[in-house]
Amino acid sequence: MRNAVIAFAPGRVNLIGEHTDYNDGLALPFAISEGVTVQAQPGRTGWIDAHAVDLSSHDSFALDSPGRARGWRAFARGATAELQTAGCSLAGTKLRITGTVPRGSGLSSSAALEVALCLALLAIADTEAPERVALARICSKVENDWVGAQTGLLDQLASLCGERDHALRIDFRSLEVSPVALELGGYTLVTLDSGERHANAGSGDGPAEGYNQRRAECEQARERLGIESLRDATLDAAEELPEPLAARVRHVVTENERVEQTVAALAAGDLPRVGELLDASHASLRDDFQISTPAVEATVQRLRAAGAAGARIVGGGFGGHVLGLLPPGTEPPPEAVTVAPGPGAHLLS
Ligand code: GLA
């Protein structure tokens, strides 16, 4: 057991490749500098005592039977339980959690919280962390089985594998993560809040329902096409399906292509082309995947009116932030936040 540790895990922006991760597809996210910090120190034997500072909220639970809870407590309990299920030994710990990623923003505060919790719990117990893909899977189980969001591995891999100045081309079939230099030649990337909060998990209707429903539709389409995943789907095959399944598949197939085209455009330094691809991604997410909202559309329009070369909704959809690519010299809307790729999750002490 160590005396004290501090773990930091970043949120992420997904440059392009949305709703492709759970379809064995491609995405191009990067870790941002905003994130979640978890301080850990030795605590009562057999117990976790956690304090979510920003929420002025506490939780205490037994290491060997964390039990179910809602909200941020589901993350703390889930991380504790899933690490132990994966064979990692933990110890009685006091946790102090703070964060700078706005919750429900589409910048993945959830993955940042899961990853920072896991790193802190492992480090304070002096237990070696599983390798990054295995740890991403553990964090994703927390989200799927404890929080109730049927999300994929995008956010966790981006948070764990992020590299300064690079986006990550992730192939969700092979789980190969390849850094791609994000050289913007004077362009800047900004996010602008739509003001609408989204949640990928929950009960009842609303945005949470939307995310899980899209995932279920992709699964239905896959079954009907008789293929292993929508990575193998084609536009011709999609047209055989009834709506809205055909449209969902169209989005996934064209979005995978746009990821490859964006990697090529970045390598060629062709930023106007990157902007066009962001616009095309947004159109596909709005029209075929149908995860935009009037507030999101208004936010996209604000970025375009400011002179963005391209703008699109990021994350699970149904609210959250919009990403814009601004040419050199463009004045962003006042509340826009500039985002740049930072390092992945790490221990600060
Ligand atoms: C959320 C999920 C990710 C991914 C995106 C959409 O961020 O957590 O797994 O599905 O939505 O690309």
Instruction: Give the model confidence (pLDDT) of 279-338 as tens digits.
Output: 999 999 999 999 999 999 999 999 999 999 999 999 999 999 999 999 999 999 999 999
How far apart, in Å, are the Cα atoms of 289 and each of 187, 192, 293?
28, 21, 12
- Which amino acid makes up residue 207? P
> Among 155, 256, 290, which residue has the most ligand 1 atoms within 8 Å of its CB, making it the best to mutate?
155
332 and 315 Cβ atoms separated by less than 8 Å: no
214: tokens are 């899209």
Label residues 183-205 b or e (16+ Cβ within 10 Å = b).
Answer: ebeebbbbbbbbebbbbbbbeee
From the CB of residue 260, how many other CB atoms can be counted at a distance below 10 Å? 14
| pLDDT for the residue numbered 52 | 98
| pLDDT for the residue numbered 201 | 53
d(CA 46, CA 62) in angstroms, rounded, equals 6
| pLDDT for the residue numbered 103 | 74
108 Cβ below 6 A of ligand 1: yes
3-state secondary structure of 68: coil
Q: Residue with the nearest Cα to atom 9 of ligand 1?
A: 152
> Is residue 242 classed exposed, middle or buried when 0-12, 13-18 and 19+ CB atoms within 10 A define those classes?
exposed
317 Cβ below 6 A of ligand 1: no
> Among 26, 160, 200, 258, which residue has the most ligand 1 atoms within 8 Å of its CB, making it the best to mutate?
200
d(CA 314, CA 251) in angstroms, rounded, equals 15
Q: Residue with the nearest Cα to atom 2 of ligand 1?
A: 151
pTM across the whole model: 0.95
* Neighbouring residues of 29: CB distance < 8 A, sequence distance ≥ 6: 12, 13, 14, 15, 17, 154, 155, 157, 158, 167, 168, 170
- Which amino acid makes up residue 86? A
* Residue 64 a catalytic site member: no
Residues of the chain falling short of pLDDT 70? 104-105, 198-208
96 and 37 Cβ atoms separated by less than 8 Å: no
| pLDDT for the residue numbered 199 | 66
Looking at the DSSP bridge assignments, the partners of residue 12 are: 31
